[in-house]
A and B are shown apart, each in its own frame.
Chain A
Amino acid sequence: MCGVPGPPPLIWGDKMKEEMMEQYRELLTSYLKDRREDQLYAAQQMSKWMMEQKIPPEEMVSLHAEAVKRQMPDLPEEVHLSFDLLIEMMIGYGIALREHDSLINKQKELDYEIEVAVGMQQTLLPDAPPQLPQLDIGVISVPANRMSGDYYNFVNHGDSSIGVALSDIIGKGIPAALCMSMIKYAMDQLDNPSGPSEILRRLNNVVERNVDPSMFITMVYGVYDSSRHTFRYAAAGHEPGIFYHAKKGSFKDMTTRGLVLGVTKDTRYREYSLSLEPGDAIILFSDGVTEARIDGDFLGRDRLKELLRAHLDQPAQQAVEAIYQNLYERAKYNLKDDQTILMIRRKNDRDLIV
Chain B
Amino acid sequence: MNVTIQEETRSEQVSALVVSGEVDAYTAPQLREKLMPLCKENREIYLDLSRVDYMDSTGLGVLIGAYKQLRSGGGRLVLTGMSPRLKRLMKITGLTEILDIEDGV
- State the A residues within 8 Å of B (CB): 168, 170-172, 212-216, 218, 236-240, 256-260, 263-264, 287, 291, 337
Contact = CB atoms under 8 A, between A and B. Distances in A.
Contacts of B68: 213, 263
B27 interface: no
Contacts of B69: 213
Interface in B24-48: 25, 32
Contacts, number: 57
Interface residues of B, number: 19
The 9 closest A-B CB pairs, nearest first, are: A214-B65, A259-B94, A237-B93, A214-B61, A213-B65, A170-B57, A213-B68, A237-B94, A170-B61
Contacts of A287: 57
Contacts of B58: 170-171
B60 A170 contact: yes
A237 B25 contact: no
Contacts of B86: none
A264 B61 CA distance: 13
B97 interface: yes
Contacts of A238: 92
A291 B92 CA distance: 14
A267 B68 CA distance: 15
B23 interface: no
Contact of B57 (A171, A236, A257, A264): A171
B32 A214 contact: yes
Given A218-B57, A218-B93, 18 more contacts: A168-B57, A170-B57, A170-B61, A171-B25, A212-B65, A213-B64, A214-B65, A216-B64, A237-B94, A238-B92, A239-B92, A240-B92, A259-B97, A260-B93, A260-B95, A263-B64, A263-B67, A287-B57
Interface string B49-84: 000000011101110110111000000000000000
A215 B98 contact: no
Q: Which of A237, A257, A258 has the most C-beta atoms of chain B within 10 angstroms of its own C-beta?
A: A237
B98 A264 contact: yes
Nearest to A239: B92
B95 A259 contact: yes
Given A213-B69, A214-B32, A264-B98, A171 B61 contact: yes
B33 to A, nearest CB: 12
B62 A260 contact: no
Nearest to B61: A214
Given A171-B25, A213-B68, A213-B69, A258 B94 contact: yes
Nearest to B67: A263
A257 B88 CA distance: 12
